[in-house]
Structure formats: structure tokens, C-alpha cells
Amino acid sequence: YTPLTLLRVAELAKAVGIPDGVINVVNGTGGEIAQRLMTHPACAKVSFTGSVATGEKVQQSACASGKRVTLELGGKNAALFLDDLTPEAMVNGIIEAGYLNQGQICAAAERFYLPQGKLDAVLALLKDKLSAFAPGSPLDEQTLMGPLANRQQYEKVLKLIQTARDEGDTIVCGGEALPGEGYFLQPTAVKVRSEESTLMREETFGPVCSFIGYRSEEEALARINASPYGLAASVWSDNIRQALRYSEAIDAGIVWVNMHTFLDPAVPFGGMKGSGIGREFGSAFIDDYTELKSVMVRY
């Protein structure tokens, strides 16, 4: 749901003097527009951002005509908090990693791994902090939590929260829709019963974060990597050397240390496993959008 964003990009391109026709924005449904683009002989490269199911269809259609493909698909991104941090520091990191833009960021963290001995204390403090996040209009500078993008996503998130209740997970805070106009949900924290909980496996793409304790970092790493996705992750610790060691062990296209969802045009971004193929940004991005050609001469 980004048509206005892309139309604005086209306006800015024209404003800075890029000739007409170099950048074209065509709005429409996937079946109406995307299928024609993917199969048109003049289109040499397809880049898709969206769900895993749709990404598989895009890949099949593009590959049938020999097109190169970049796929930035779903994820169930994890954040690992090491035991050297205080509960207060953990809560600040959780809010940054999981609730920015109501969780409507492909790289947002949704699975949170906390030391078992600090789990309840962190969740109690998080509950207090989130109670101040009164959802409101994004046009109001005082608003800390806006609405979900559309009714379809709003209803999906509510359904996942109800599934968590039905499966025996504990709703620590939030979990309800707000009355009135707009697709507003309370920021929600869920203490899950196990890795088998639906909230630990299915992408939410909303203000819902799932929490589980671990007894050793090695155990946490094994559980993080058991996911079929591998888009993004973060490790939080005051011991940078240790955090970097765990970052190397996580199967994800990008791993942040003591931050989350920070992108830099010089740093490649993209997923492993079911989260996609190819990269955006950095030199890898240029390679994906150009053809390598060799010319050999006898002289």
C-alpha cells in the first residue's frame, strides 16, 4: 500500500530534471498491472516487495521469460537481548525494534528473546511504558502510535491476537481495538507459551510483539535460526565483542547491534531463506540491476 509514496518519487524525479519516461509509476492491482510487467519483453528485471506467497508467483512468472528477480519478502524477525543489560535498557530497545510505525515495517522485530530471569520484570516495565502510547492521528506531532494501513491488515492482526488467546498465550498489555474511526489498535505485548505459538511463526505486521525467555544464548540462537525466514535481526548488549559474535551466528540478511530498522544506502539490505533473494542498496544493488558483459579480443 505505497502508491502515494511512489507517485511522490515520480514528482521529485521530474522536479530535479530527470527526463520524462525514465521513471514511470503505474498504479493498479497485481493481476491487472504486475502480470503484464513481469511478462513484457521490454522488462528485463523485476523487483518485488511483499508476501512470500505472492513472491513465489512473481518469481515463477518472471523466470518463465528469463527475467532477473529481486524478492524482498516477509519475515519473522528476532531480537536477542543479552543478560548484561538492565530491564530499562531492554525496554527501550524493544520499543525501538518492535513498535516503530506500528510494527508496519518489513524488518521490524516481532520475536523477542530475553533472559529467563529478567523476562517478567521487563514485561512489567514494558507494560507501563506502552500505556503512554495513546494511538492518534499521524498528523499530530504528539502522537506516538498511528493506525494500521487498511482494514484487511487491521482484521488480520486482531485475528492473530485472538489466536494467541485461544492457544493459551498471555496478553501482557493491549490486545484490543480502539473505538471510533480509523484502524487503531492498542500496542500489544504477548508472553508466548512456546516456539509453537502462531505468533512466533506467522508475520504480524502490526503493533504486536511476542516474548519468550531463554536459559542460554546458544539455546536462543538455535531457536532464532529455526525460523524459515531470515530477513533481519538485532542483538542487544553492552559487550560489543559478544554481540558481534552472536550476530555472525544468526541467519539473517542484516543484523543490527544495539539498534534496529536502521538502513544506510551504502549497506546491502535483503533476506535469506524464505525472506527473499537479491539485495537493495550498496554495490550489490548495482550488480543486481546491471548485466555483466565480457568482451575478448585477439590482437
CA distance 77 to 186: 21
What does R_g of the chain's alpha carbons equal in angstroms? 21
Residue 218 among the catalytic residues: no
**Do the Cβ atoms of 67 and 45 come closer than 8 Å?**
yes
CA distance 116 to 99: 22
CB neighbourhood size of 171 (10 A): 16
CA distance 31 to 12: 28
Catalytic residue among 11, 72, 96, 196: 72
CA distance 97 to 261: 7
**Do the Cβ atoms of 176 and 185 come closer than 8 Å?**
yes
CB neighbourhood size of 38 (10 A): 22
Catalytic residue list: 72
